[in-house]
Amino acid sequence: MKAAPFEYVRAGSIGEACEVLQREGDAVKVVAGGQSLIPMMAMRLVRPGWLLDINEIAALKFVAMDKDAVRIGACTRQSTVERDQELAARVPLLRQALAWVGHIQTRNRGTIGGSIVHADPCAELPLVARVLGARMVLRSTAAARTVEADAFFSGPMMTATDANECLEEVQWPAWGERRTGSAFTEISNRHGDFAMVSAAAQLSLGDDGRCVRAAFGLGGMGQTPLAFPQLAQRLVGTRLEDEIVKSVAHDAAAQSDPGSDLFATAAYRRHLAGVLAARVISAAHAQAGSKG
Ligand SMILES: Cc1cc2nc3c(=O)[nH]c(=O)nc-3n(C[C@H](O)[C@H](O)[C@H](O)COP(=O)(O)OP(=O)(O)OC[C@H]3O[C@@H](n4cnc5c(N)ncnc54)[C@H](O)[C@@H]3O)c2cc1C
C-alpha cells in the first residue's frame, strides 16, 4: 500500500518546527529517521495531514558530555551514538542496547528521539531510558519542559509528548562509580526483529565487592518498558550471590503482566523474563567485578 495524501514541510530550526506543531496540532507527524513512521503510513495505520521533517535541524544533532549525564539531541542517528567511544564509556548500556535495535541500515537512519517517542514497549532504547531514569526535554513555542522516563512512557506507543511539542534532547544519567558494569539481552524470533522479551541491568560494586547501586528492567512485559527500583534495592548490600539474583529476577517476572500473541504466550514470556533478568544482573556483576 501507499501512504494517504499528506502535505510536507521541512523545518530549518526548532522554533520553526514548534510553530508548525502549534499551528497544525494533531494533524502533524514529525518525521525523523522514518524507520517506524513511514512503514506505518504506508500501511495506513497513521494518516497525518502534515509530515514535519526535522532532519535539517542541526541543533537537534549532538552528543554532549555533562558531569552527571550525557545529553543527546533527538535527531542524532542511532549509528552515531553506537560508534561514540566516549559515550560508550559513560553510558555503556546505550551501546549494548543499540546492537539489538533493528539492523545497521535502520540504525543509520533511525534516531534516538524517534525510538523514544515511538515508545514501542518491546523497543530497546525506551527500556534503557526507564532503567537509567533518562529525562526527556520537550519543546513547544511557549517553553521547554523535562519529563522523567517513568512519567514519559504512558502506554503502548503513547508518551507524555503533547501534540504541540517536539522532543529536543534525551539526558542519560552517567554513573560515576568506578566499578560499574551493565548488560543487555533479548530473545526475538530473528536477529533484528523486535524482542519478545528484553532485559537490561546496571550495577556498581564497592571496594569490598558488595553491590552499592543497582537498576534493572524488562521490555515486552507490559504496556510500557518496566523498571524495578524496589527489587533492585534488594541487591544493594549483597555480594550478588546466585540465590538473591534469581529471587529478584523471579519476582520481577511475577510482578509483570505480559500479553500473549502469535510469537509467545504470557507464561512463556514470564519464564523468559525471569531467566533474562537473572542473566543480565549476573553479566553486569561480572563486568563490574572485572574492574578490580
Ligand atoms: C526492519 C526494521 C527493524 C526494526 N527493528 C527494531 C528493533 O529491533 N527495535 C526497535 O526499537 N526498533 C526497531 N525498528 C524501528 C526503528 O528502527 C526505530 O523505532 C526507529 O528508528 C525510530 O526512529 P526514527 O528516527 O526512524 O523515527 P520515525 O519513524 O521518524 O518516528 C517515529 C515516531 O516518533 C515521532 N518522532 C520522531 N522524532 C520526534 C521528535 N524529535 N519529537 C517528537 N516526535 C518525534 C514520529 O512522529 C513518530 O511518531 C525497526 C525498523 C525496521 C524498518
Give me the percent of the chain exceeding a pLDDT of 90.
96
Same domain, 169 and 109: yes
Residue nearest atom 46 of ligand 1, based on CA coordinates: 30
Which residues of 36-165 form beta strands (DSSP E)? 50-53, 63-65, 69-73, 135-139, 144-148, 153-155, 158-159
Pairwise CA distance, residues 85 & 75, whole Å: 19
Ligand 1 contacts (CB < 6 A) are 29-37, 54, 74, 101-102, 106, 109-111, 113-115, 117-118, 120, 123-124, 161, 166-167, 192, 194
Distance CA 49, CA 281 (A): 45
Task: Please tell me whether residues 271 and 196 are part of one structural domain.
Answer: yes
Residue 39 pLDDT exceeds 90: yes
Residue 110: closest CA among 161, 39, 21, 18: 39
93 and 144 inside one domain: yes
246: number of Cβ within 10 Å: 16
Instruction: Tell me, yes or no, whether 238 lies in a domain.
Output: yes
* Cα–ligand 1 centroid distance for 35 (angstroms): 5
Q: Is residue 279 located within the same domain as residue 187?
A: yes
Q: List pLDDT tens digits, range 208-256.
A: 999 999 999 999 999 999 999 999 999 999 999 999 999 999 999 999 9
Determine the distance separating the centroid of ligand 1 and the alpha carbon of 78, expressed in angstroms. 10
Predicted confidence (pLDDT) per residue in 169-218, tens digit: 999 999 999 999 999 999 998 888 889 999 999 999 999 999 999 999 99
Cα radius of gyration rounded to whole Å, the chain: 19
Total domain count for the chain? 3
Q: Do 152 and 193 lie in a common domain?
A: no
Name the region of 24 (left: φ>0; alpha: ψ -120 to 50; beta: rest). Answer: alpha
Kindly report, residue by residue over 53-103, the tens digit of the pLDDT: 999 999 999 999 999 999 999 999 999 999 999 999 999 999 999 999 999
Residue 190: the pLDDT is: 86
pLDDT value of residue 192: 80
Question: H helices then E strands: how many in the chain?
Answer: 12, 14
pLDDT of the residue at 194: 87
Could you tell me the distance, in angstroms and rounded to a whole number, from the CA of residue 141 to the centre of ligand 1? 24
Lowest pLDDT segment from 7-16, 54-63, 190-199, 278-287: 190-199
Asked if the model's pLDDT at residue 1 lies above 80, the reply is no
CA of 120 to the centre of ligand 1 (A): 9
Claim to verify: residue 224 and residue 185 sit in the same structural domain = yes
Domain CATH code at residue 271: 3.30.390.50
CATH code (residue 14): 3.30.43.10
Probe target for ligand 1 pocket from 13, 26, 30, with the most ligand atoms within 8 Å of CB: 30
Same domain, residue pair 282 and 188: yes
Provide the residue range defining the domain that includes 65. Answer: 58-173
Residue 292 is predicted with a pLDDT of 76
SS3 112: helix
Residue 167 CB coordination number (10 Å): 26
Q: Which of 10, 20, 21, 36 to mutate to test the pocket of ligand 1 (most atoms within 8 A of CB)?
A: 36
The full length of the chain comes to 292
If asked whether residues 273 and 193 sit together in one domain, one would say yes
Q: Catalogue the E-assigned strands of 6-126.
A: 7-10, 28-31, 50-53, 63-65, 69-73
Q: Is the residue at 39 inside a domain?
A: yes
